[in-house]
């Protein structure tokens, strides 16, 4: 039964078609995460315009609190768009989410500042960030699922790496655009009006991404499932959690490390380099851009290795790397107190981060059946990112302020990495080179973890 249920995805091995799918899906992901990344990179300027205060740290905390708000609503977006994606198809939802993200991002660039409309400025900012969060909730998991469902069984990560690469490149592009503009017009002009122009770039980029995604074909795995079920069938969030809660919790235990590390690496480090190390805005953004381009280049290598050695070994490597090298990386950045040291430290962190990101991209599909895949993976990914990714910049700043040591965020990541290693070793099954389940009633993978969590219910 399981072998029959995976023919479409396994036989769909036209390399040129898969590459078209991969690039089309990645193009939309670049736009989505470019839009989402801007808020983190422009945090200092947003704080000046929406949370004016003599205490710069308080302004940053308020800005990253708004950053967190978008993560709180991400699970809602993931459940909503996930259910639609399991019912209507993957490509329709991917086209819709990129329009929603682009429109809301451009709207941020149009909000009057606190001096103009008072308290309504931060209120409008929160509302629009919520819309961004809803869109983000349905984006990444949908893009990875869409790519994996087109890929041959033995090369899923060899194609799914493109979604991780697209995310890193989007953050690098955002950092590069911000660094370039601040270098041209200066920090003062950037705070006055320059930051708005970057947010408005979302409009043309979103239109192009929508056009690309709208012309893609539907996932063969989804088409086959819908043909067998003879119609549109969807499940509620409680039904999905009752059936797949065990796997949601298992995978979520690893995604914790991925989420925390990603937003420390991609977002907080830029603020850390400016407020703690004392680099200029252009220098901190340049360091982020170089590091992100480095990990972008590593993603295809990580994807190929994952298909060769398996998912468990890649997860264990990611955890070990974070546990051993996060604190030394922070020390390199601090002791050097230069652009070169900042880049070196971020490159060290980036190696573990790319291993976690690439393997997670494929696991989001391999752990769940086609009929519930979009909803289940969105629940797992977005709930975990809301709790650990969205809070990462805020907690990093808070921990640094409370402890008085710049190493506090590094210790936080290290502890999580150690716990994650044991979680993966004991609980995670091997899913590489195994057929995808099509229905939640099918048996799971033959390779079982050392310990089972038992049946997780929705109650």
Q: Where are the alpha helices (DSSP H) in 367-391?
A: 373-384
Q: Residue 230's pLDDT is what? A: 57
CATH 1.20.120.530 is the classification of domain 14-216+235-427? no
Cα(191)–Cα(194) distance, integer angstroms: 6
Q: What is the pLDDT along the chain (459 residues), one digit of tens a residue?
A: 334 344 444 444 577 788 888 888 888 889 888 887 888 788 888 888 888 776 666 777 777 778 778 888 999 999 999 999 888 888 889 989 989 999 999 999 999 998 899 889 888 998 998 998 899 888 899 999 999 998 999 999 999 999 999 999 998 999 889 989 988 999 889 989 999 999 999 999 999 989 888 888 888 888 888 777 755 577 889 999 999 999 999 999 999 999 999 989 888 888 889 888 999 888 998 998 999 999 999 999 999 999 999 999 999 999 999 999 999 999 999 988 899 999 999 999 999 999 999 999 999 999 999 989 999 999 999 999 999 988 898 899 899 989 999 999 999 999 999 999 999 999 999 999 999 988 777 766 544 444 445 444 443
Q: Residue 55's pLDDT is what? A: 66
Tens-place pLDDT, residues 403-456:
999 999 999 999 999 999 999 999 999 999 999 988 777 766 544 444 445 444
Find the farthest-apart pair of alpha carbons in the chain and give their distance in angstroms, rounded.
65
Residue 419: CB partners within 8 Å, gap ≥ 6?
Answer: none
How many CA atoms, within 13 angstroms, populate the side-chain half-sphere of residue 295? 34
Q: Where are the alpha helices (DSSP H) in 109-216?
A: 114-117, 120-148, 156-189, 195-200, 202-214
Whole-number Cα distances in Å, 236 to 82, 240, 326? 10, 6, 40
Domain boundary assignment for the chain: 14-216+235-427
Q: Residue 445's pLDDT is what? A: 56
């Amino acid at each position: 039964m399981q072998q029959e249920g995976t023919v479409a995805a396994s036989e769909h091995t036209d390399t040129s078609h898969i590459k078209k799918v991969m690039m089309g899906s990645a193009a939309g992901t670049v736009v989505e995460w470019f839009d989402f990344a801007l808020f983190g990179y422009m945090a200092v300027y947003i704080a000046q315009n929406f949370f004016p205060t003599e205490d710069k740290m308080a302004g940053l905390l308020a800005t990253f609190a708004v950053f967190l708000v978008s993560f709180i609503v991400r699970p809602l977006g993931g459940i909503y768009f996930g259910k639609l994606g399991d019912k209507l198809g993957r490509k329709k939802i991917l086209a819709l989410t990129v329009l929603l993200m682009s429109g809301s991002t451009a709207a941020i660039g149009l909000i009057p500042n606190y001096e103009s409309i008072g308290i309504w400025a931060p209120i409008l900012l929160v509302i629009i960030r919520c819309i961004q969060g809803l869109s983000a909730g349905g984006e990444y998991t949908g893009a990875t699922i869409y790519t994996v469902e087109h890929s041959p069984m033995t090369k899923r990560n060899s194609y799914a790496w493109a979604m991780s690469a697209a995310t890193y490149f989007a953050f690098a592009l955002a950092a590069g655009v911000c660094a370039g503009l601040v270098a041209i017009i200066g920090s003062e002009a950037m705070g006055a009006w320059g930051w708005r122009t970057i947010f408005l770039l979302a409009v043309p980029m979103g239109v192009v991404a929508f056009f690309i995604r709208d012309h893609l074909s539907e996932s063969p795995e989804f088409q086959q499932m819908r043909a067998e079920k003879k119609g549109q069938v969807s499940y509620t969030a409680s039904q999905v959690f009752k059936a797949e809660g065990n796997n949601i919790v298992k995978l979520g235990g690893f995604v914790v490390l991925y989420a925390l590390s990603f937003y420390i690496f991609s977002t907080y480090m830029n603020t850390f380099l400016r407020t703690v190390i004392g680099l200029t805005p252009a220098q901190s953004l340049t360091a982020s851009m170089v590091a992100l381009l480095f990990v972008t280049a590593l993603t295809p290598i990580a994807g190929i290795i994952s298909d060769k050695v398996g998912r468990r070994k890649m997860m264990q490597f990611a955890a070990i790397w974070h546990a051993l090298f996060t604190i030394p990386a922070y020390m390199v950045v601090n002791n050097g107190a230069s652009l070169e040291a900042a880049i070196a430290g971020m490159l060290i962190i980036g190696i573990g981060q790319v291993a976690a990101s690439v393997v997670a991209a494929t696991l989001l599909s391999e752990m769940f059946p086609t009929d519930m895949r979009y909803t289940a993976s969105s629940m797992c990914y977005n709930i975990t990112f809301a709790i650990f990714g969205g809070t990462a910049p805020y907690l990093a700043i808070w921990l640094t302020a409370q402890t008085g040591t710049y190493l506090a965020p590094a210790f936080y990541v290290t502890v999580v990495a150690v716990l994650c290693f044991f979680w993966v070793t004991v609980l995670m099954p091997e899913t590489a080179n195994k057929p995808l389940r099509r229905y939640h009633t099918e048996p799971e993978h033959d390779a079982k973890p050392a310990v089972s969590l038992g049946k997780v219910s929705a109650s």
